[in-house]
Amino acid sequence: GLQAGIVGLPNVGKSTLFNALSNAKAVAANFPFCTIEPNIGVITVPDERLIALEKIVNPQRVVPATVEIVDIAGLVKGASKGEGLGNQFLGNIRATDAIIHVLRCFEDDNIIHVDGNVNPVRDKEIIDTELQLKDLEGIDKKISKNEKLSKTGDKEFLHGLDLLKQLKAFMEQGKNARGFEVSPEDKEKHFADLFLLTMKPVIYVCNVDEKSVVGGNNHSEAVKEAVKNEKAETLLISASIESEIAVMESFEDRQLFLEDMGLHESGVARLITSTYRLLNLATYFTAGVQEVRAWTITKGMLAPQAAGVIHTDFEKGFIRAEVIKYTDFIKYGSEAACRDNGKLAVQGKDYLVEDGDIMHFRFNV
Ligand code: GDP
């Protein structure tokens, strides 16, 4: 499944946010390294279309799409050199599709800051530097390996080597790989095998005190300014508000509490929506009497790959897909009516699946 990793220095509020995000319980304690093992939680992606499909199909069950969230604790200065179990944590980040970078923007004298005072821009740079050093290690290895190979005359090979050197020079200025301008084709061909940590999409979460959750504070403003040239989003969230909301049973209570704080939507809900957008995800549906279900794909997936999200056998044995657009399904009210009105398209293996498609796969076993 698709996975986002929560990173940040110790004691910035990662576990608190993670707990609010998932049903899994990690210990939130005023102690660095309280979460040694990576904690994985699963988030349901809210989607109103599922409710509409349920009304029409009346299935036995409805299964929403999910995104996995991993709480990656223990990143500290020196992690890329193995400090504080650093390498293990960096490996955990490598496995994720996107990064949620939590920054401490709240003052609280009772909560120890590992570097003495609250300064989210410095904190961000500490984490970034570790990730960059790790990336540079990989880039250097590939450069020296390829230089030995030196396929003289192979234009594509030399182009790749040149790009690697450019990326290296770029990152040596303390920049993240995601800011490096490169075509999607080159990126896929020459960088994908490196699984660069700083190339992953990122959301910066400014963990602010309850009073600052609407307007922000000087810390969150400093973060915004520092990241304005990065391809990244920033969100204002108060992890402590989120943890209070997370334990409220009734929707009305939650809504009242949020409105008291001047909010319309919980930070968790905003974070899920942003993560979904950040990961460049789309949803297709299967709609049978047994099950109406949302499936998560990456934008740009072709029909066989999308089928593979359900089962690898669906991808291997793919024959064709019958596709109904969501709006047609709602308009005509059933698969049969869509078929009768020419709204059921038979698509082959080159079909680019679109958000909202209702798919029925035909495959060989
Ligand atoms: P982690 O090490 O980044 O996972 O941080 P934790 O989530 O364990 O939080 C460390 C400490 O900071 C805990 O005692 C939390 O209760 C506290 N904390 C987390 N978020 C906030 C917040 O928004 N405001 C305040 N005042 N304390 C918080």
Give the pLDDT confidence of 218-251 residue by residue, as tens digits: 999 999 999 988 878 899 999 988 888 877 777 7
CATH of residue 52's domain is 3.40.50.300
Q: Is the dihedral of CA 183, 186, 191, 193 positive or negative?
A: positive
| Same-domain pairing of 177 and 29 | yes
358/76: higher pLDDT: 358
**Does 153 reside within a domain?**
yes
Mean of pLDDT values over 306-320 = 93
Mean of pLDDT values over 149-159 = 82
| In the predicted structure, residue 153 carries a pLDDT above the cut 80 | no
Average pLDDT, the chain: 87
Amino acid at 7: V
Residue 247 marked as a ligand binder: no
Residue 15 marked as a ligand binder: yes
Helix axes 239-246, 251-260, angle to 10 degrees: 160
pLDDT for the residue 205: 96
Instruction: Kindly give the number of the ligand 1 atom that is closest to the alpha carbon of 208.
Output: 23
Mean of pLDDT values over 23-47 = 56
**Does 68 reside within a domain?**
yes
Instruction: Count the neighbouring beta carbons within 10 Å of the beta carbon of residue 197.
Output: 26
**Does 286 reside within a domain?**
no
Mean of pLDDT values over 293-308 = 90
pLDDT for the residue 36: 40
**Does 324 reside within a domain?**
yes
| In the predicted structure, residue 29 carries a pLDDT above the cut 60 | no
Residue where a domain terminates, one of 278, 309, 337: 278
| Same-domain pairing of 334 and 234 | no
| Same-domain pairing of 268 and 340 | no
Q: How many domains does the chain have?
A: 2
Instruction: Kindly give the number of the ligand 1 atom that is closest to the alpha carbon of 35.
Output: 4
Mean of pLDDT values over 277-287 = 87
Mean of pLDDT values over 275-292 = 88
**Does 310 reside within a domain?**
yes
| In the predicted structure, residue 322 carries a pLDDT above the cut 90 | yes
Cα of 187 to ligand 1 centre, how many Å?
37
Give 276's pLDDT tier (boundaries 50, 70, 90).
Answer: confident
| In the predicted structure, residue 175 carries a pLDDT above the cut 90 | yes
Amino acid at 216: G
Cα of 87 to ligand 1 centre, how many Å?
24
pLDDT for the residue 38: 55
| Same-domain pairing of 107 and 230 | yes
| In the predicted structure, residue 318 carries a pLDDT above the cut 90 | yes
**Does 294 reside within a domain?**
no
| Same-domain pairing of 75 and 107 | yes
- Are the C-beta atoms of residues 222 and 193 closer than 8 Å to each other? no
Q: What is the DSSP letter of 14?
A: H
**Does 16 reside within a domain?**
yes
The residues lining ligand 1, judged by C-beta closer than 6 Å to any ligand atom, are 8, 10-16, 28-30, 34-35, 73, 106, 108, 111, 207, 209, 238-240
Residue 16 marked as a ligand binder: yes
Mean of pLDDT values over 267-290 = 86
Residue 12 marked as a ligand binder: yes
| Same-domain pairing of 174 and 88 | yes
| In the predicted structure, residue 127 carries a pLDDT above the cut 90 | yes
> Range of 308's domain?
300-363
pLDDT for the residue 340: 97
List the 318-324 sheet strands across, edge first. Answer: 61-63, 291-298, 281-287, 358-363, 318-324, 345-347
Helix residue ranges per DSSP H, the chain: 14-21, 48-57, 86-94, 120-149, 155-171, 184-186, 218-226, 239-246, 251-260, 267-278, 303-310, 312-316, 326-332, 335-340
Mean of pLDDT values over 296-303 = 87
Pocket test for ligand 1, best of 9, 12, 16, 72 (most atoms within 8 A of CB): 16
**Does 291 reside within a domain?**
no
* Bridge partner list, 359: 323
Chain-centroid distance, C-alpha 347? 30
| Same-domain pairing of 328 and 271 | no
| Same-domain pairing of 118 and 54 | yes
Nearest CA to ligand 1 atom 7: 13
Distance CA 70, CA 85 (A): 17
With DSSP H G I counted as helix, E B as strand and the rest as coil, what are the percentages for the chain, rounded to 5? 45, 20, 35
Residue 19 marked as a ligand binder: no
Instruction: Kindly give the number of the ligand 1 atom that is closest to the alpha carbon of 107.
Output: 26
Chain-centroid distance, C-alpha 361? 27
